[in-house]
Amino acid sequence: MRLIRLVKFLAVVVATSAVFTNNVAAGRALIALPAPVSPTQAVTQSSTIVIGKVTSIEKDPVEVDEYKGVPKDQPKAQFKIAKVKISEALMGAKGLTEIKIGFSVNAVPGGGGIDGGEAPAIDLPIKGRPIRPRITPVALTEGQEGTFMVTRHWTGDFYILAGGFNAAPLDKKAADYDKKLAEVKKIITVMKDPVALLKSKEKDERYTALSVLTMKYRNWTKGTEFTEEAIPAEEAKLILDTIIELPWTVKPGDANPDYEKTLSNHFAIWLGTEQARLKFVYPQPKPGDNADTQNKMYEDAVIKFIKENREKFTLKRYVDKK
């Protein structure tokens, strides 16, 4: 599966200013192995989302292409088929009462983590998103109830779980089910009308909209050829306005740092190519400048650059190549 990885900036306390400046200037990305799929990833990669129950698993597996565009001489992959009775259609299943969801015969119940468990974090030399071991595909079981986030299989007559088979359904029996379902519904609302949420008076709602759109527009997981197209001007300007509200980096000592909610991160993701086109140059720190001073200098320079060039930027999103 072809994946356009989100660029992760390393705007944290660094060993030397040269390391930081070089990584920022190069728009360098961290390389990470697959991780459990977040609700935002799952929803933005789904064509259909339903609340329902697995009523049965078909006895015989079906054989289909393992991935889109697989060479004709490659052996077929085997999928088991689960029938899911729909109690509520949240997205893309209007008028349907049942859907079929396929999963690999090699998948395991409770997958989407390390053999169904939690993925241990591994520290990097420079702090960034932890590298995590391989994630197992998710298997469905008869009687399973919850929220299923799926997309159509490319050749088979069934759906597959989003996130490269790793988006485990929200388990109705889980203590935090209602909380996660509310999050899913909020993400769906953003996808239906992103401009409304970007205009919200609530900062957290604007940040949520930005996070969803970043995952939807700047992350390609379909395994198909893609191209880019310009985002509508109003939406693009609102994205820029929200980006410059973010702090440059996470707070030192933060026990749960969220690098995705930083100005440095989004500056790379959305404006990486525009930096070169409009000749943006990071200011150079002075000898003796500490991390706080450097980060404030970078933040001021980036905000100034965005404000001065707001009308010149072209924000783009990934789309299927026709």
Residue 124 pLDDT exceeds 80: no
Cα–Cα distance measured from residue 105 to residue 82, given in angstroms and rounded to the nearest whole number: 12
Token couple for 236: 């693009």
pLDDT tens digit string along 139-179?
Answer: 999 999 999 999 998 888 999 998 766 788 999 999 999 99
pLDDT tens digit string along 29-77?
Answer: 333 334 556 788 889 989 999 999 999 999 999 999 877 777 888 889 8
Name which CATH class applies to 39-173.
mainly beta
Domain boundaries, the chain: 17-31+193-320, 39-173
| Phi, psi of 105, rounded to the nearest 5 degrees | -65, -15
CA distances to 24, 55, 102, 116, 317 from 139, rounded to whole Å, are 40, 14, 9, 10, 32
